[in-house]
Amino acid sequence: MKLHREGYKIVLISTLLLGGILFLISEFGAPQWLTVLVGIPLVILFILIVRFFRNPPRYSDKTENGVVSPCDGKVVVIEEVEETEYFKDKRIQISIFMSPLNVHVNRNPVSGIFSYFKYHPGKYLVAWHPKSSTENERTTSVIKTDAGAEVLFRQIAGAVARRIRWYIKPGDKAAKGEEMGFIKFGSRVDVYVPLGTEIKVALDQKVSAAETLIAVLK
């Protein structure tokens, strides 16, 4: 299993702590029942931490004018909204919630050029809260495709996720399905596409980053 670079330090620290605790228990001659009582939960926690930072290979959907999911998770919102930061007009919002069990690598939904990027400090409301898109810590990225369409997407921190990472800046080239960032410990990503876009997913549908086609631009 390939480990994401965001997890190197945390997994190393977790390994040292787990090894140190188990070593101390052994050195002090603790009874077997205590070793099992302490050791099993620690090993399970360690496995969950390693799984959280997994980075499996992904192969992007190749549909022409297709928009792919920027993350793993479940579709929780599909609605027409007013996008007030960049477009300042109506768009279709598709929101995907990531649980702590999902892969948390974020990927480009389309190919093109990053025409806009901004980081917003903010609150840490639960990720499914309606105001999390506008009040939580978040980033806003816009990719302009070769055909001239623009797709906006937001990395949004939640009540647990308090660290957003991004590896892009305005002017960078974007390849559909390539890694652009990471959100630690559960959160959500919102995608905004033009009105008239053909939506290919449904509410509560589980999606995979890069591989699931969520919309087709007209």
Q: Locate all alpha helices (DSSP H) within the chain, ordered by sequence.
A: 8-27, 32-52, 132-135
Q: What are 59-96's pLDDT values in tens digits?
A: 999 999 999 999 999 999 999 999 999 999 999 999 99
Task: For residues 162 and 18, give the distance between their C-alpha atoms in angstroms, rounded to a whole number.
Answer: 24
In contact, 217 and 192? CB cutoff 8 Å? no
Tens-place pLDDT, residues 22-35: 888 877 777 887 77
Rounded-to-integer distance, Cα 19 and Cα 8, Å = 16
**Of 69, 132, 141, 187, catalytic:** 187
pLDDT tens-digit readout, 168-206: 999 999 999 999 999 876 689 999 999 999 999 999 999
Q: Three-state DSSP class for 190?
A: strand
- The 10s digit of each residue's pLDDT in 141-160 is 999 999 999 999 999 987 66
Beta-carbon contacts of residue 106 (< 8 Å; ≥ 6 apart): 70, 71, 155, 166, 179, 180, 181, 182, 183, 189, 209
Q: How far is CA 25 from CA 19, 33, 98, 104, in A?
A: 10, 11, 36, 34
- State the pTM of this model: 0.86
- Any catalytic annotation for residue 187? yes
